Amino acid sequence: MTHPSATVGWTLTGTVASTGASTPAATLDLATPAAGLEPAGLGRGIRLLGVDLRGSCGPLERWIRGADLIAVYEPDDPRRLRATALWRPWTAPTGVAAWELLLSAQTALVSSDSALAVVSEAVATEAAWGEGTAAGWRWTRAEPGQPRPARATSVLVRSGDGADARPSLLVAVHPDDVRHIDIDRAGDLLRVRCWLFSTAIEKGQLFRSRVLAAVGPARDDEAWAGGLGSAFAAAPPPLTT
């Protein structure tokens, strides 16, 4: 079963975290969380699991715990929303690199807007909505600006499966957590935004959601993406951040 990796460690220099020579290798500047993870050696334009706080700020706290990279943010805006982001690598099939983001939110206000977006992007020509069914995964063409089909929890971003095809990108929200997913284009980039915590949050509440991003070969991408999507959907809920 695919599961969070316990063998890949982070190093932290200032606000820049890196997995160094580990596999999968990536860097992340915690001072700009919206930019997300930049994987090494997987092609131009790939950014994974960025956190759009709807306001700029550096991390209040940051630390490493085993294979987990954790940062706490609290933008100085009227929402007073405190967000804790935890990035960790996932074990994945050979040739596929995967990471999970656990994102939680709290507020010191009586009530506040809780919406946050997790952003991933890649150079690509097309995308497909993914829906897990009893018979396996169903993939249907997705267009930028198109509403998410009601049962879709994943997006597969790709550029075909020919010899010159770029790696495909899977973005999956855990089925228990999905609220809204949108796709847009910026030049040759396709960007996927997973909107979390769409309801108001009250003081004393803790909201938590999970998003998975994986990059793998264009050939047979629906097969490896479906396998990862099923394993992610079956993962037990996190007990701690």
- Structural tokens at position 205: 């509440």
* pLDDT tens digit sequence for 144-174: 988 999 899 999 999 876 656 789 999 999 9
DSSP three-state, residue 231: helix
* Pick from 57-66, 107-116, 123-132, 226-235: least confident: 107-116
Extents of the domains making up the chain: 11-234
Contact 156, 221 (CB under 8 A): yes
The percent of residues above 90 in pLDDT, for the chain, comes to 57
Average pLDDT, integer, range 78-96: 89
Q: How does pLDDT run across 178-206, given as a tens digit for each residue?
A: 889 999 998 999 999 999 887 788 888 88
Check if the beta carbon of residue 37 is closer than 8 Å to that of residue 16.
no
Select the CATH number that applies to the domain covering 11-234 from these four: 2.60.120, 2.70.98, 2.40.10, 2.60.40: 2.70.98
Q: Is 233 helix (H, G, I), strand (E, B) or coil?
A: helix
**Which token pair is 137?**
């995964």
- pLDDT tens-place string over residues 15-63: 999 987 666 789 999 999 999 999 988 877 899 999 998 877 889 999 9
HEC string for 21-82: CCCCCEEEECCCHHHCEEECCCCCCCEEEEEECCCCCCCCEEEEECCEEEEEECCCCCCCEE
What six digits make up the tokens of 11?
């190093």
Query: Quick one: tokens of 142?
Result: 């997705």
Q: What is the DSSP letter of 91?
A: -
Task: Return the SS3 of 192.
Answer: strand
Look up residue 204 and give its DSSP letter.
T
Answer yes or no: are the C-beta atoms of 234 and 1 closer than 8 Å: yes
